[in-house]
Structure 1
Amino acid sequence: MTVQHAAAPTGLAATERVELLRTMILIRAFEEAILRDYHADKKPAWDIGAGLIPGEMHLSAGQEPVAAGICAHLTAEDAVTATHRPHHLAIAHGMDLNRLAAEIYGRETGLGRGRGGHMHLFDPDTHFSCSGIIAEGYPPALGQAFAFQRRGTDRIAVAVTGEGAANQGAFHESLNLAALWKLPVVFVVEDNDWAISVPRASSTSVPSNADRAAGYGIPGARVEGNDVEAIHAAAGDAVARARAGEGPSLLEVHTLRLWGHFEGDAQGYRPELAEVPERDPIPAYEQALTAEGVLTAGRADQFRAEAGQRVGAALEFAKSSPTPSPEEALRYVFTEGAPR
């Protein structure tokens, strides 16, 4: 059965609620800074390969509640696999901002020594990985969860993908095997309404991917409203189930993509585009906490100032780091060893 979680009291302490906002503000500050540098030197003629940050860029503005609400339940020992739109999850899961920024800028001090870029983040310190391949993160999460289970730990894996990827074979194969072996996995679908430019109604036969959980005999829940506290509550149930050895759950969150699928996306396919800014979840949550007396005057501005300092330092670290030498371009890409 699909459970609909609406915005409602969740029993969170005031400090926890404020911390959720703080996490979302940090994520947004990081991505706004990346956005500025990404666009700064790609004109007058748009050149995706030019500038400080070459290549495609997929930003997660509007989806911060998903990362903050879920990752609040995790430790650095838990594993997270993400999509080609990964920054919000990486930051909420505690990834080092300096090494994250350096990888995005293609520098030697990055997570992958600048070879992977923003869609291929790999961080053993936080057990985080992502990929540009649709639904790719689900099968690796099974391997991580299987290892955790065999070792007798209470560590879990969280696998995040988009609603379009829920129609991929890897999605269904992963749910089936995780259910069969009762693996400690939380499967998450971020439904931002658009699989690139395709609306879910044009590609998906069910109104909620959470309904698909029933086919594998596992719990499924859909969270409406992009509400961070409702997400936190639903994720808490799924995480607790996984840690207790009761197997996987499927959680779908109806979230929001504030910006384009990629930077440079004209978004002509979005009829609701003019209304999107007013649905921004960060000012909405800030206003709610202020109205309830949880957030004191000036506290959010303090968070933004702190986030700006952290992000500024991370970007300075990245920009001052060396780029990979052309002579060593293939290092860390292929296995190095004596020829056979």
Structure 2
Amino acid sequence: MTTDDHLADLHAMWRIRVLEEKILELRLAGDVVGSVHLSNGQEAVAVGVCGQLRKQDAVFATYRGHGWAMARGVPAFPILAEVLARTAGVNGGRGGSAHFSAPEYGFYGENSIVGAGAPIATGAALASTFDKSGRVVVTVFGDGAMNQGAVPEAMNFAAAMNLPVIFVCENNKYSELTPINDMVRNPDLSARATALGIPATRVDGNDAAEVAAATALAIQTARHGLGPTFIEAHTRRIVGHYIGDAQQYRPEGELEADLAAEPIVRLSHQLIASGVAADTVDAARRRAVTEIEEAARRALAASAADPATALEHLYA
């Protein structure tokens, strides 16, 4: 990767970070109703994966999906408008923070049920084999979802049917508030994929370039009809599981260590150490702030969704 590539990744991660910080600000101000789940610290996974996908490919995310939507190309304004329940939102204000989708961008939605996106994504991958579209499907979930039956069932089906789906596990070491070592005997989650006959790799989820390289190989595998791949991306969230999570379950010093190693800090230091001017590096942040502030201003000024239309767009 070139310096320009790394700077592009840094800007992409800053866009997600500033978006999440703005959503938190709006929630604390009372402009956003309900809980939100932020991805601060995990930006490199979304940026690394989505940067390798084609327009036709599909991403199925979790309730912690704002960053995945942005990395897939959904603009900041309709995301913020959606979270604010505005008619200008990507789903007219009906999806909110945890349920919106934008298929026109290859983002097939969040899912508030832990692990539930995996079988849906696997079905989309099956459809891809029927229509011979060449579409590759990505489903992302956390380490906690690996203990939900839907995920291994989807993985087994994908392996048996040789489907073009990539299973991306954002392993941030916590299932909500519970450490991974209290949940499983073997913390190597990729071993479960290997047991099903799925090629698996473990990557540094705080390194967008490393995530991108693993994703590129998985995409090549899928497009050549060689079936699914499992990517276990080791990362850390540097915020609570949800708004109001005081993170009292964290050992002393852990959060400070995570903050020092998070992907934006790491890549910024690497770029400066390689000779890139500090002002050039910081320009990535400034551009993101300008974009998100303008998007938030527009979203706040947009019309609120009318409760009288709540029953529209329903199947039954």
Normalising by structure 1, report the TM-score: 0.88
Among 82, 107, 110, which residue is 2:61 paired with? 82
Contact 1:76 1:94 survives alignment (8 Å): no
Structure 1 stretch displaced more, 320-329 or 263-272: 320-329
Across the two proteins, how many residue pairs are aligned to each other? 313
Structure 2 residue identity aligned to 1:313: E
In the alignment, the residues of structure 2 paired with residue 144 and residue 176 of structure 1 have an alpha-carbon distance, to the nearest angstrom, of: 15
In structure 1, what is the equivalent of residue 180 of structure 2? 200
CA distance in 1 between partners of 2:280 and 2:126 (Å) = 42
Q: Is the 8 A contact 1:154 1:244 kept in 2?
A: no
Question: Match of 1:67?
Answer: 46
CA shift digits 1:253-287 (9 cap, x unpaired): 11011000001111111112343322222021111
Q: Which residue of 2 aligns with 1:140?
A: 120
Return the alpha-carbon distance in structure 1 between the equivalents of residues 282 and 178 of structure 2. 37
| Alignment CA distance shift 1:276-1:214 (3 Å) | closer
301-310 vs 213-222, which moves further: 301-310
In the TM superposition, residue 225 of structure 1 has moved relative to its aligned partner by 6.1
Deviations 1:214-239 (A, max 9, x none): 22111011113622222122112111
The aligned residue for residue 108 of structure 1 is: 87
The residue aligned with 2:266 is 284
Whole-angstrom CA distance in 2 between matches of 1:244 and 1:17: 28
- Give the corresponding residue for 1:94: 73
- Aligned mate of 1:186, from 139, 148, 166: 166
Aligned equivalents of 1:281, 1:299: Cα separation in 2? 17
Query: What residue number does 2:10 align with?
Result: 21
Q: Secondary structure, in 3 states, of the residue corresponding to 1:190?
A: strand
Going from structure 1 to structure 2, the CA distance change for 1:312 and 1:225 (only over 3 Å counts) comes to closer
2:22 equivalent in structure 1: 33
Asked if the contact 1:78/1:126 (under 8 Å) is kept, the reply is no
Query: Which of 222, 240, 244 is 1:264 aligned to?
Result: 244
Q: Which runs of 5+ in 2 are unaligned?
A: none
Mapped to 1, the partners of 2:88 and 2:285 lie a distance apart of 26
Gaps of 5+ in 1: 1-11, 41-50
Q: Secondary structure at the match of 1:26?
A: helix
Distance 1:70 1:274 in 2: 27
2:147 aligned residue: 167
Q: Distance in 2 between matches of 1:326 and 1:32?
A: 28
Secondary structure at the residue paired with 2:241? coil
TM superposition shift of 1:324: 1.8
Q: Percent identity?
A: 38
Larger radius of gyration: 1
Q: CA deviation at 1:90?
A: 0.9
Judge which range, 231-240 or 165-174, deviates more.
231-240
Give the aligned residue type for 1:86.
G
What displacement does 1:205 show? 2.7
Give the distance between the partners of 2:250 and 2:95, measured in 1 at CA.
31
Which of 202, 207, 219 is residue 239 of structure 1 equivalent to?
219
Q: In 2, are the aligned partners of 1:187 and 1:249 still within 8 Å (CA)?
A: yes
Supply the RMSD in Å over aligned alpha carbons: 1.5
Amino acid at match of 2:222: A
1:130–1:276 distance in 2 versus 1, CA, 3 Å: same
Q: Which amino acid aligns with 1:303?
A: A
**1:7 aligned residue:** none
AA paired with 1:269? Y
Residues 46-65 of structure 1: matches in 2 within 5 Å? 51-65=30-44
Q: TM-score, normalization: structure 2?
A: 0.95
Give how far 1:317 is off: 2.0
Counterpart contact for 1:201–1:207, Cα < 8 Å = yes
Which residue of 1 is the match for residue 101 of structure 2? 122
Q: Which of 307, 312, 324 is the matching residue for 2:288? A: 307
Quick one: which amino acid aligns to residue 300 of structure 1? V
